[in-house]
Each structure stands twice: as C-alpha cells, then as structure tokens.
Amino acid sequence: MPKIILNSSDINAYRQKKWRMVPSSQLRNEKDAVKFLNEVGFCLLFACNDIPLPKLSLSALSKEWDWWSWKDTLQSRKLCYNSRAMRKKATLLSLEMLPCFLRLYYESGGVEVYEEEFDYGKMTRPAYDIADYLYQNGPQNVADLRRAIFPHTKEGTRKFHTALQELQGKYKIAVSGLIDKSWGMRVVDLFSRWAPPQILKSAEVLTVSEARERILLTLLDTAGALTEKEIQRTLGWEKERLSLSLESLIESGKIQSLPHRGEKTPWLVSKAMFKTIQSQ
C-alpha cells in the first residue's frame, strides 16, 4: 500500500463538507442547527481564523439571519450550552460534550457552587453579585438584571457583560428563556438549576482521561487533521497532559499520525479523515 501523505487541499475539502460550508448543506433552521451541533460536538459562534472549528455564523445559510437567536433558543430548550470553552470565545457545546468540559473544569479547580468559587478567590465580585441575585430572585431578564445590580453607565454596562462572560466560562449561568429575539431580551438563570440532572451526573462519573480523550476525538473528527501545536493552542491544555492523551489515542488506533506534504511536523488525523484519503 502506498504511503499516505496529507495535503492542505484534502483537509480543506473535508472541512468544507463537515462544517456545512457548501451552500446546499448549510443550516436553514433550528432543527438543522441541533443536528449539526450533535454531529460536530462543539462549534464557535463567530468566525475566528486561528481556531480550527466550524462557526455557526458561517455554517448558517447566508440569507438566514435568524441564526443569531439560535444560541439562546436552543439553550433555553436545553439542546446546547453556550460556553466560553475555546480560548474564551463563545462556543456552543452539544449536551453530549458538555459533561466532558464540566469534568475538566472541576479538575482544574472549579466548583459547582458559586459561593465557594468566590470564597476561594476564583470569581470576581461582579460575577458573584449576579449569581447571588439569581439565586435569591430566580430567573431574570438580562436588562432587568443589569439595572438591579449595576449603575446605568458605560462602565456599569461593561462590568455587567464582562461578568456575564465570566459566569458563562465558569458554568454558572445559562439562558433559560427568551422574551423575544432582540438583543438583551434573554432570560438567564443559574446553571445548576438549568442543567439536566443527567448532565451533572455524567460529569461526576467521567474520569479526567475519558473526558480529555472524548474532546480530542471530537475535535479531530470535526477538523479532520491538526498538529499537536494547533490542538494545544485551541484547547489550552498543558503540553505534557495533551501529549499523553494523544499517545494513548494513537496506540489504541483511534487516531493516526501522518506526514503532511511540505511540512516537517506530523499531523494527527481522525479515522474519518483517514478513510476519506484512503478512498481517493
């Protein structure tokens, strides 16, 4: 059998199809978006050229402007979670992948209870104030929530949105409803009240190595092929731990290490990408 060598055109073709960039396969409605998210496991909300993941804004049909509300409507129906998982960028996670990211968050020192995070110095005061207000008063329209806690100033608005992003990244809040599809009309609640019980239970029983390997396999299946450096930059994991997980996946035959034409560094390749090249 001839030696298989990767090239950029094969990787780009794989991603065009997988990421629904072909006009005939682009997302037209929420049903399409849910199916797509379950296929890829996680995707970015907006374009970011140096993160090798699909972007909802580019995968949606260009004339379907309603895609902006999908991140909220799907989350309110408990069909995905809008996190900050990839380099603090807005990242939609499927419910299948959410426990994996939760497990790693807890492993890194995060805790489920917002009061404990604040007491341990892992949460800012503005984020704590929002979480505590939600605990005391229940789900809130974000516009009312801001007015209740922060002064109606430019600086107050900045602090509010920064705190919301922090709470997203720490798995402390979620969109539980939508008054309408206008910006600022989301209803948010504590993540612990929003999360389906099976999600929290799954995160508890997963081992760290299982969570890491599932995320890596999903990332590679979605991207097709990546260098170890790209994977580390995308996920932000420690190099030593990442290398151990990748070695385990290679040894078990779940991924392949292949040369890339014109490059010295080998690339890690998913089974799906390997089969695609093999069949050509």
DSSP labels, 122-140: -S-HHHHHHHHHHHHH-SE
Q: Which of 57, 52, 34, 85 is nearest to 221 (CA)?
A: 52
Mean pLDDT value across residues 183-210: 92
Same fold, 97-201 and 206-278: yes
pTM above 0.85, yes or no: yes
2 has a pLDDT exceeding 70: no
What is the share, in percent, of the chain residues with pLDDT greater than 70?
96
Q: Which fold has domain 206-278?
A: Arc Repressor Mutant, subunit A (1.10.10)
Question: Please, which pLDDT band fits residue 277 given cuts at 50, 70 and 90?
Answer: confident
Q: Please report, for the chain, the start and end positions of each structural domain, with discontinuous segments joined by +.
A: 97-201, 206-278
From the number of C-beta atoms within 10 Å of its C-beta (0-12, 13-18, 19+), residue 109 rates as exposed
221 has a pLDDT exceeding 60: yes
Question: Please, which pLDDT band fits residue 183 given cuts at 50, 70 and 90?
Answer: low
Backbone torsions φ then ψ of 5, nearest 5 degrees:
-125, 130
90 has a pLDDT exceeding 70: yes
CATH number assigned to the domain with residue range 97-201, chosen from the 4 options 3.40.50.10860, 1.10.10.10, 2.40.50.140, 3.40.50.620: 1.10.10.10
Mean pLDDT value across residues 157-186: 88
Two tokens, residue 98: 């959410």
Q: What angle do CA 134, 137, 143 make, to 5 degrees?
A: 65
Going across the sheet that includes 225-226, the strands are 225-226, 267-270, 255-258
Range from 156-160, 181-185, 204-208, 271-275 carrying the lowest mean pLDDT: 181-185
Mean pLDDT value across residues 202-214: 97
Question: Please, which pLDDT band fits residue 1 given cuts at 50, 70 and 90?
Answer: very low
Q: What is the pLDDT of residue 68?
A: 85
pLDDT tens column, 42-66:
999 998 889 999 999 999 987 666 8
**Residues near 222 by Cβ (< 8 Å), separated by ≥ 6?**
18, 19, 40, 41, 42, 43, 53, 54
Could you give the 3-state DSSP secondary structure of residue 163? Answer: helix
Two tokens, residue 86: 């990839």
pLDDT tens column, 142-153:
999 999 999 889
Query: CA–CA separation, 222 vs 235, rounded Å?
Result: 14
Q: What is the pLDDT of residue 181?
A: 61
CB neighbours (10 Å) of residue 214? 18
Backbone torsions φ then ψ of 35, nearest 5 degrees:
-60, -45
Mean pLDDT value across residues 225-254: 97
Two tokens, residue 40: 């890829």
Residue with tokens 């050229």: 49
Query: CA–CA separation, 146 vs 135, rounded Å?
Result: 15
